[in-house]
Protein backbone atom coordinates (compact mmCIF):
# COMPACT_ATOMS: atom_id res chain seq x y z
CA UNK A 1 0.00 0.00 0.00
CA UNK A 2 3.07 2.22 0.18
CA UNK A 3 5.00 0.85 -2.80
CA UNK A 4 5.57 2.77 -6.01
CA UNK A 5 4.82 1.22 -9.41
CA UNK A 6 8.50 0.56 -10.15
CA UNK A 7 8.86 -1.35 -6.88
CA UNK A 8 5.68 -3.35 -7.51
CA UNK A 9 6.71 -4.20 -11.07
CA UNK A 10 10.38 -4.88 -10.64
CA UNK A 11 11.63 -4.36 -7.12
CA UNK A 12 13.53 -1.21 -8.07
CA UNK A 13 14.01 0.71 -4.81
CA UNK A 14 15.49 4.22 -4.74
CA UNK A 15 15.10 7.58 -3.06
CA UNK A 16 12.25 8.17 -5.51
CA UNK A 17 10.36 5.08 -4.32
CA UNK A 18 10.87 6.34 -0.76
CA UNK A 19 9.42 9.71 -1.81
CA UNK A 20 6.35 7.82 -3.10
CA UNK A 21 5.92 6.17 0.31
CA UNK A 22 6.41 9.56 1.97
CA UNK A 23 3.46 10.90 -0.05
CA UNK A 24 1.32 8.00 1.11
CA UNK A 25 2.38 8.66 4.71
CA UNK A 26 1.45 12.35 4.35
CA UNK A 27 -1.98 11.33 3.04
CA UNK A 28 -2.36 8.92 5.95
CA UNK A 29 -1.56 11.61 8.52
CA UNK A 30 -3.95 14.10 6.88
CA UNK A 31 -6.76 11.52 6.93
CA UNK A 32 -6.25 10.85 10.65
CA UNK A 33 -4.65 7.47 9.94
CA UNK A 34 -7.02 5.96 7.40
CA UNK A 35 -5.65 2.86 5.74
CA UNK A 36 -4.48 3.65 2.21
CA UNK A 37 -6.81 2.19 -0.43
CA UNK A 38 -9.10 0.82 2.31
CA UNK A 39 -11.92 0.12 -0.15
CA UNK A 40 -9.60 -2.23 -2.09
CA UNK A 41 -9.42 -5.29 0.15
CA UNK A 42 -6.79 -7.38 -1.64
CA UNK A 43 -3.20 -6.18 -1.86
CA UNK A 44 -2.80 -7.52 -5.39
CA UNK A 45 -5.75 -5.35 -6.45
CA UNK A 46 -4.06 -2.32 -4.84
CA UNK A 47 -0.99 -3.11 -6.93
CA UNK A 48 -3.09 -3.27 -10.10
CA UNK A 49 -4.81 0.01 -9.20
CA UNK A 50 -1.54 1.87 -8.51
CA UNK A 51 0.22 0.48 -11.59
CA UNK A 52 -2.84 1.43 -13.65
CA UNK A 53 -2.52 5.07 -12.59
CA UNK A 54 -4.84 5.03 -9.56
CA UNK A 55 -3.94 7.28 -6.66
CA UNK A 56 -5.22 8.17 -3.21
CA UNK A 57 -7.92 10.84 -3.15
CA UNK A 58 -7.81 14.34 -1.73
CA UNK A 59 -11.50 14.00 -0.82
CA UNK A 60 -10.54 11.49 1.90
CA UNK A 61 -8.85 14.28 3.85
CA UNK A 62 -11.59 15.28 6.28
CA UNK A 63 -10.42 18.78 7.22
CA UNK A 64 -9.25 19.62 3.72
CA UNK A 65 -5.73 20.22 2.51
CA UNK A 66 -4.14 23.43 1.23
CA UNK A 67 -3.58 23.35 -2.54
CA UNK A 68 0.19 23.79 -2.22
CA UNK A 69 0.42 20.83 0.18
CA UNK A 70 -1.75 18.64 -2.04
CA UNK A 71 0.34 19.48 -5.10
CA UNK A 72 3.46 18.38 -3.22
CA UNK A 73 1.82 15.12 -2.15
CA UNK A 74 0.61 14.45 -5.70
CA UNK A 75 4.08 15.13 -7.08
CA UNK A 76 5.36 12.32 -4.85
CA UNK A 77 3.13 9.96 -6.85
CA UNK A 78 4.30 10.91 -10.33
CA UNK A 79 4.33 7.89 -12.64
CA UNK A 80 7.91 8.70 -13.66
CA UNK A 81 10.32 8.53 -10.72
CA UNK A 82 12.46 11.36 -12.12
CA UNK A 83 9.43 13.67 -11.95
CA UNK A 84 9.07 13.13 -8.20
CA UNK A 85 10.71 15.59 -5.81
CA UNK A 86 13.80 14.73 -3.79
CA UNK A 87 13.82 14.79 -0.03
CA UNK A 88 16.07 17.83 -0.13
CA UNK A 89 13.39 19.66 -2.14
CA UNK A 90 10.60 18.66 0.26
The reply to whether 90 falls in a domain is: no
| Residue 26 pLDDT level (bands cut at 50, 70, 90) | very high
- Predicted confidence at residue 64, as pLDDT, reads 86
Q: What is the DSSP string of 4-73?
A: -HHHHHH----HHHHHHHHHHHHHHHHTTSPPTTTT--SHHHHHHHHHTT----GGG-TT---HHHHHHH
User: In this predicted model, what pLDDT tens digit does every residue of 10-20 receive, in sequence order?
Assistant: 999 999 999 99
The reply to whether 9 falls in a domain is: yes
The reply to whether 89 falls in a domain is: no
| Residue 25 pLDDT level (bands cut at 50, 70, 90) | very high
The reply to whether 20 falls in a domain is: yes
| Residue 28 pLDDT level (bands cut at 50, 70, 90) | very high
Q: Which domain holds residue 54?
A: 5-83
Calculate mean pLDDT across residues 30-51. 96
The reply to whether 21 falls in a domain is: yes
CATH code for the domain in which residue 54 is found:
1.10.510.10
- Predicted confidence at residue 62, as pLDDT, reads 84
The reply to whether 88 falls in a domain is: no
What is the share, in percent, of the chain residues with pLDDT greater than 90? 92
Q: Which of 30, 33, 32, 2 is nearest to 18 (CA)?
A: 2
The reply to whether 33 falls in a domain is: yes
Number of domains in the chain: 1
Amino acid sequence: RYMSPEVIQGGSYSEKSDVWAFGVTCWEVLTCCKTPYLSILQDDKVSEYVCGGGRLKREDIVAGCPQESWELIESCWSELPNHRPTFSAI
